[in-house]
Amino acid sequence: MKYLFYPGCSQEGTAREYRDSTLAVLQALGAELEELKDWTCCGASVASAASQLLGLVLPARNLALAEQQANGPDLLTSCSACYSNLRRTQTTLADHPKLHHTVNQALEVEQLCYRGVVRVRHLLDVLANDFGPQVLQTRVQNPLEGLRVAPYYGCQTVRPYSRFDNPHRPRSMLGILEALGVQVHRHLREAACCGASLLVTQPDLGLDMAAEVLAACQGADCIVTVCPMCHMNLDAYQDQISHRLGQRVQIPVLYLPQLIGLAFGLPEQTLGLSRHLTPVRLPAKIATTS
């Protein structure tokens, strides 16, 4: 299986371990990945608040690059905000031909043109549907039996432009987690919001939102996410949240490919578990060779 890979900005910085573990797991599964050349920021939630056109042009630039670089393979992204922006742009431009034309007028200064043929895929979609639990299971060397894992999808992974799962009650992680041998901790905040950039701009509200997710995951040994923003919000603020709640909250937050990597027996160094702010201490028998 071949994919063009669009890592997104945070995976060059705070979420480098997400990129490393994604590449390691996909390589173990035999996928071929080629990084999108010269990619730029999708605009996050900021560009579209500044201007509607800019909020479409920034993702479209990357879609056009993908169509130019290779004809055929899907564009794979593991960041839910990037995924949502790329899909929003595709959906909007498909519905509004005039806007599509204006976007291409802007892209002319970069000698690019977006045609609308590339398919955009989220890492979770690829793992759940291109490979699937059965294929994943054949690669498991270190079943994570007894580990209680709380899945956390967040918002933009599953809504509103996503097409691979239920936007209210997603379940695409379930099969994957079961294939790894873990015990799934279902909860009511699986597709709730982590607080997104509110943890920076409106901390009182943002921290409350992240706290609600962490509270729903109490009882699990760890949380798994598929989005760098969700990861940051759930992992990095546990001290502040503990202070607010008046009770100690300490629950490791892993990226899904890190957990899959553990089950595949990939070395912990490759998976970058030591880069998280909430220390990842898993039951002794889960820990693999490092």
Interface ranges with other proteins (CB under 8 A): 9-10, 12-14, 16, 39-41, 43-55, 57-58, 61, 96, 98-99, 102, 105-110, 155-156, 159-160, 167-168, 192-193, 195-198, 200-206, 209, 212, 236-237, 239, 274-277
Nearer to other proteins, 4 or 65 (CB): 65
Nearer to other proteins, 142 or 238 (CB): 238
- Count CB-CB contacts under 10 A for residue 127: 27
> Rounded to the nearest whole angstrom, what is the least distance from the CB of residue 229 to other proteins in the complex?
10
Q: How far apart are CA 269 and CA 97, in angstroms?
A: 48
Q: How far apart are CA 111 and CA 106, in angstroms?
A: 9
Q: How far apart are CA 132 and CA 36, in angstroms?
A: 25
> Rounded to the nearest whole angstrom, what is the least distance from the CB of residue 204 to other proteins in the complex?
7
| Of residues 137, 124, 146, the one with CA closest to residue 190 | 124
Nearer to other proteins, 124 or 147 (CB): 124
Nearer to other proteins, 29 or 227 (CB): 227
**Measuring CA to CA, how many Å separate 221 from each of 209, 253, 255, 261, 279?**
20, 9, 14, 17, 12
> Rounded to the nearest whole angstrom, what is the least distance from the CB of residue 14 to other proteins in the complex?
5
> Rounded to the nearest whole angstrom, what is the least distance from the CB of residue 98 to other proteins in the complex?
6
> Rounded to the nearest whole angstrom, what is the least distance from the CB of residue 46 to other proteins in the complex?
4
- Count CB-CB contacts under 10 A for residue 55: 22
Nearer to other proteins, 141 or 274 (CB): 274
| H or E segment to which residue 60 belongs | helix 52-69
